[in-house]
C-alpha cells in the first residue's frame, strides 16, 4: 500500500508507545500517533496536553492545543501550573513528543531563533512547554521531516536539551528525564549511542544510508547493524485515513 511521508512518520511514532504510557502530546502528528497507538497496541494510553487536559478523548481532530473537544469527555482538567508541576516535573509523564526547526548531532532542539538571539535572523515561536518536556519526560521522541537545514551539526540555540555536547553532560545537568530516545524522520530512525550521539539504527523501506547522509548536516554515525522498519500496515493506514484524519488535514 502507498503511504505519505506524514503517514510513515505517524505510524513509526505510534509504534514507540507502550500500553499505559502517560504521554505529553501536542497537536498534529504526535496527536495522531497517540490516537493510532490507542486504536492498536496501547488501548490504555493516557494523553496529557499542556493546556491542562488529562485523558482526553477528542471526538474530532483537535486543531489547536486548546481545542474544546479535548476537554469534553476528558478524565481531568487542571491548571497550567499544575500540569507542569504535579504531572511533568513530578515525573508522572512517561513520554514527550518534540519537534523543532533544528535538531543537532546530540539531539538538542532549536525552536527559538535562527541566527543571534538578540539580533534574530528568523524569530521562531520559542520553547512553550518543550524545554520542560525534553528535560523531564522519562522518554522523548523527536518527530520531524528529514532535511539538511533541519539537521545542523550544532543548533543556534538549545531550546530543549538533548545530550548537550554528549559524554554525559546531560546527566550532570540534574535533569530528571532520559532525554531523546529516538528521532523519527521520514527517512529513518536515529537513536543516541552511549555518548548521546545520534546514530542511524533503522531505515524505512526503500531508503538508503546515502540518502540519509545527504540530508544530514554532519557525518552521521552508523549503528553496527542497521535494520529496516516494518512498513505501515493496511490496518494502521485505514485507521489513520478513515477514523483519525478523514479530511487529510495533517496526513496529506
Q: Which is nearer to other proteins, 117 or 145 (CB)?
A: 117
DSSP state of 79: -
Q: 139 vs 50, 135, 243, CA distance in Å? A: 17, 9, 28
Q: Using the rule CB under 8 A, which residue among 4, 5, 18, 76 binds other proteins?
A: 76
Residue (of 30, 2, 6) closest to 251 by Cα position: 6
Instruction: Decide: is 191 part of the binding site for other proteins (CB under 8 A).
Output: no
Q: Using the rule CB under 8 A, which residue among 4, 5, 40, 92 binds other proteins?
A: 92
- Give me the numbers of helices (H) and strands (E) for the chain, helices first please: 7, 14
DSSP state of 251: T
Q: Count Cβ atoms within 10 A of the Cβ of residue 87 and give its class: 0-12 exposed, 13-18 middle, 19 or more buried.
A: buried
Q: Which is nearer to other proteins, 53 or 220 (CB)?
A: 53
Active-site residue, 197 included: no
CA 2 to chain centre: 23
**Which of 50, 132, 197, 236 does the annotation list as catalytic?**
50
Q: Using the rule CB under 8 A, which residue among 1, 41, 68, 233 binds other proteins?
A: 68
DSSP state of 238: H
What does the alpha-carbon distance between residue 87 and residue 180 come to, in Å, rounded to a whole number? Answer: 19
Neighbours of 222 (CB within 10 A): 13
Q: 211 vs 9, 64, 199, CA distance in Å? A: 17, 34, 15
What does the alpha-carbon distance between residue 161 and residue 96 come to, in Å, rounded to a whole number? Answer: 13
Q: Which is nearer to other proteins, 127 or 191 (CB)?
A: 127
Q: Using the rule CB under 8 A, which residue among 6, 10, 12, 160 binds other proteins?
A: 160
Instruction: Decide: is 195 part of the binding site for other proteins (CB under 8 A).
Output: no
Q: Which is nearer to other proteins, 128 or 217 (CB)?
A: 128
169, β-bridge pairs:
none
Q: Which is nearer to other proteins, 38 or 54 (CB)?
A: 54
Instruction: Decide: is 88 part of the binding site for other proteins (CB under 8 A).
Output: yes
Site string for other proteins, 5-34 (x = CB under 8 A): ---------------x-x----x-------
Instruction: Decide: is 129 part of the binding site for other proteins (CB under 8 A).
Output: yes
Instruction: Decide: is 153 part of the binding site for other proteins (CB under 8 A).
Output: no
Q: Using the rule CB under 8 A, which residue among 176, 205, 214, 230 binds other proteins?
A: 176
Residues 46-65 that bind other proteins (CB under 8 A): 46, 50-55, 57, 59-60, 63-65
Cite the active site residues.
Answer: 50
Amino acid at each position: 500500500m502507498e503511504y505519505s511521508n506524514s503517514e510513515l512518520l505517524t505510524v513509526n511514532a505510534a509504534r514507540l508507545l507502550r500500553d499505559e504510557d502517560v504521554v505529553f502530546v501536542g497537536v498534529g502528528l504526535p496527536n495522531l500517533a497517540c490516537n493510532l497507538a490507542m486504536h492498536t497496541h496501547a488501548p490504555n494510553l493516557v494523553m496529557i496536553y499542556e493546556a491542562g487536559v488529562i485523558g482526553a478523548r477528542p471526538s474530532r481532530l483537535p486543531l489547536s492545543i486548546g481545542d474544546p473537544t479535548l476537554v469534553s469527555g476528558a478524565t481531568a482538567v487542571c491548571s497550567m501550573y499544575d500540569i507542569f508541576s504535579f504531572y511533568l516535573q513530578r515525573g508522572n509523564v512517561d513520554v514527550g513528543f518534540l519537534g523543532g526547526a533544528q535538531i543537532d548531532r546530540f539531539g538538542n532542539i532549536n525552536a527559538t531563533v535562527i541566527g543571534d538571539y538578540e539580533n534574530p535572523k528568523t524569530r521562531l515561536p520559542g520553547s512553550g512547554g518543550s524545554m520542560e518536556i525534553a528535560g523531564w519526560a522519562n522518554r522523548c521522541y523527536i518527530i520531524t521531516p528529514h532535511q539538511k537545514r533541519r539537521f545542523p551539526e550544532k543548533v543556534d540555540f538549545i531550546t530543549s536539551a538533548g545530550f548537550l555536547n554528549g559524554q554525559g553532560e546531560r546527566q550532570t545537568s540534574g535533569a530528571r528525564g532520559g532525554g531523546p530516545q529516538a528521532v523519527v524522520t521520514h527517512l529513518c530512525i536515529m537513536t543516541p549511542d552511549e555518548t548521546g550521539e545520534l546514530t542511524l539504527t533503522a531505515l524505512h523501506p526503500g531508503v538508503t544510508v546515502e540518502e540519509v547522509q545527504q540530508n544530514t548536516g554532519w557525518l552521521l554515525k552508523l549503528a553496527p547493524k542497521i535494520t529496516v522498519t516494518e512498513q505501515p500496515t493496511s490496518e494502521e493506514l485505514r485507521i489513520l485515513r478513515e477514523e483519525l484524519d478523514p479530511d487529510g488535514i495533517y496526513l496529506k
